[in-house]
Amino acid sequence: MRDYRKFYIGGRWVEPQLANTVEVINPATEKSAGVISLGTQADVDAAVAAARAAFPAYSSTTREERIDLLKAIASEYQRRIGDVAAAISEEMGAPAWLAKGPQAALGAGHLKTAIKILEHFAFEEQKGTTLIAKEPIGVCALITPWNWPINQIACKVVPALAVGCTMVLKPSEIAPFSAQIWTEILDAAGVPAGVFNLLNGDGPTVGAALSRHPDVDLISFTGSTRAGIEVAREAAATVKRVHQELGGKSPNIILPDANLEEAVTRGVRAVMNNSGQTCTAPTRMLVPVALSERVKAIARTAAEAISVGAPDREVTIGPVVSQAQWSKIQSLIQVGIDEGATLVSGGSGRPDDLETGYYVKPTIFADVDPGMTIAREEIFGPVLAIIPYEDEADAIRIANDTPYGLAGYVQSGSIDNARRVMRQIRAGQIHINGSPPDLNAPFGGYKMSGNGREWGEFAFHEFLETKAVIGFEPAP
């Protein structure tokens, strides 16, 4: 049982201002795995004050000093990576291979990438007689989700540290264990007091307080579009910068010349990965109407090969994160059935051999009309909607007929065809033929999927202000 009731403020572990605790539930067992405190406005004020006090000194550190700090964090992270993976597996039910692999490894990846970028990043540029200077924006409030916990913490905290910002992190109260380990890592690595602060709490209290706080210069939020709208509303009165990475309903266009077996199987696996709890998951598979029956058969086989079970077993996917999430997914599966989509695989309820835990059957619907609920709402579970299209223009129209624009996928036997279609998809990141993630590529969305970009050099710019010094050089 983990006991994480203290907050990390000003370089020390401190008691919360008010004793208000909540249990963290292990989604694989439905039992308590630990306890955390929920913060208040007073805790937010203390954490922001610590970050504000630390900003003048930390923002004046040299590039070399910050590189050394990131290297120390990376070394300590590597030493504790097993603890990080264990925390992720316990808090969100990720199978061991996923927790130890992609989940924990992304933290190390973002550190390595940022160190390399920082070595050569241009903080100043001369434009004639004017100097363009990039300066740290100030105190940053970072609100992160539960689905890829360390990834989202690292891709905010690391670039903020790299450019000289100070910060307050509020991780998800549903999956806060890995954030605790992350904080212990930063403390051991020697992050100066007040530069990084950790508060646990819920969105309506701590999240809202951070969003509207007058001494917070930037808020970076990852989560649902609904919650992102509330963050923006709270932040509006202080005109702070708001960076959001929100929901998605990403299209996966399989063109007629694609290797159908390979493309469909890969698409099914991509949706089911992390129990479907990935905002960029290709949850709308668009296929030529003439190939629909073949696609159904391939998809059914691919879904049946996905094993579901406890994190300590050799399974493909574990549970979803909570009872609330499980119930939402179940209701949307039933809506898909009620609205007349063809159930190819899976369906309502838990897998037959799993009575305890928030497990969902890998579910595939076919013959889905673009107007159906399951084609429009972000389900955030292992549920795929297969939508037939008439021709390429129809596929592109369906792909863009969504309020979201986070990611898109194109499968084709011709790279030229894929590139042509890719240019017409309104989304922030496009993957061609199963291309893996690139930590240097900008990550973020169009439309209601958010604004701003994370990952790589593009993340640095989110945490910087631009100053123009006119007459820095005398006129010739």
Q: Which residues are catalytic?
A: 245, 279
Whose tokens are 């619907």? That residue is 365
Rounded CA separation 226/449 (Å): 11
405, 447 Cβ separation under 8 angstroms? yes
Task: Decide: residue 138, CB within 10 A, 0-12 exposed, 13-18 middle, 19+ buried.
Answer: buried
Distance CA 25, CA 23 (A): 6
Plot region of 357 (φ>0 → left; ψ -120 to 50 → alpha; else → beta): left
Residue 258 has which token pair?
């694609």
- Which structure tokens are listed for 2? 């983990």
- Report how far apart, in Å, the C-alpha atoms of 373 and of each of 197, 239, 358, 395 are: 40, 35, 23, 18
What count of Cα atoms within 13 Å lies in the side-chain half-sphere of residue 60? 5
Residues 408, 430: Cα–Cα separation, whole Å: 5
Are 385 and 424 a contacting pair, CB within 8 Å?
A: no
Spatial CA neighbour of 320 closest among 347, 358, 349: 358
SS3 content of the chain, % helix, strand, coil (to 5): 40, 20, 35
